[in-house]
Amino acid sequence: MNNSIENNQSTPVQNQTQGEDIVEVDGAAGRLDTGEPIIRFEKVVKKFGDVTVLDELDFDVRKGEKVTIIGPSGSGKSTVLRILMTLENINEGVIYVTGRPLWHEEKNGELVAAGEEHLRDMRKEMGMVFQQFNLFPHMTVRRNVTEAPVQVLKLSKEEANERADTYLELVGLSDQADKFPSQLSGGQQQRVAIARALAMRPNIMLFDEPTSSLDPELVGEVLNVIQRLAEEHDLTMLLVTHEMQFAKQISDRVCFFDKGKIVEQGTPDEVLTNPQEPRTQEFLKSFIEQH
């Protein structure tokens, strides 16, 4: 098995044959032994100053699993996603993504803190959709989607544009390709953000409260796209959200986080409809009252 970066980048494009899954094709995921989780958190501790946000967290995600993370603010749920996306470091513990350590590297059989090269390599496994969309305002929709494939994956402009067309169609915005983000609604911008992340062909998609900043009437169009992704593709997805109904519809597993630990997890039916733990019950109760 060839682990070089070049191989990983060229594989997706060259393997683009008729009918093959356009959303996730990557040699790296095949590196896992069957049964090995695609994400593994081992006793991970994360502190911001004196505040412990993740408290010796153990957390696994299987390949292709759709996991929703719920919990009160400050519970660490967004932090889990941000750590995976290498936006935040960890204080203790080890994280494995597709079998390789994320924030560490193996040097002479030992685990040392990861260098920038390693992080840049690992980032390619993940794509992230942010609460505030974070589109590049000075670029058209098309440019937003093609810029990273061209500059980071070193694709040609034609290949990148092909990908852009594919993913913009997936999110239903093919006709907006030449507009600037400021000309689009919030829902449209978020859908572009999803296409932009998908265009990098990550193995894992991270959604950090993707609809929390949207006007209520725009939430549906974004959730529809995410649902289609979940149902029609084999992508591993981690979703942080307050949309409980939606979580029930698409998740294989729901995790309730509180104070940096997983309090309860299970199928949507188990956690959302019949929560066992008192804290889970309390959290969901306030939810039903407010929403």
Residues that bind other proteins (CB under 8 A): 85-87, 120, 123-124, 126-128, 130, 132, 134-139, 147-148, 151-152, 180, 182-183, 196-197, 200
Beta carbon nearer to other proteins, 208 or 258: 208
Q: How far apart are CA 22 and CA 229, in angstroms?
A: 11
Phi-psi sector, 260: left (phi>0), alpha (psi -120 to 50), beta = left
Beta carbon nearer to other proteins, 151 or 286: 151
In the complex, the smallest distance separating the C-beta of residue 154 from other proteins, rounded to whole angstroms, is: 12
Q: What is the DSSP letter of 266?
A: E
Beta carbon nearer to other proteins, 86 or 280: 86
In the complex, the smallest distance separating the C-beta of residue 117 from other proteins, rounded to whole angstroms, is: 10
48 has which bridge partners?
51
Q: What is the DSSP letter of 270?
A: I
In the complex, the smallest distance separating the C-beta of residue 132 from other proteins, rounded to whole angstroms, is: 6
In the complex, the smallest distance separating the C-beta of residue 278 from other proteins, rounded to whole angstroms, is: 36
In the complex, the smallest distance separating the C-beta of residue 276 from other proteins, rounded to whole angstroms, is: 35
Beta carbon nearer to other proteins, 173 or 262: 173
Beta carbon nearer to other proteins, 197 or 254: 197
Judge contact between 188 and 211, C-beta under 8 A.
no
Helix axis angle for 157-170 and 186-198, nearest 10°, is 130
Residue 70 neighbours by CB distance under 10 Å: 26
Q: How far apart are CA 73 and CA 84, in angstroms?
A: 18
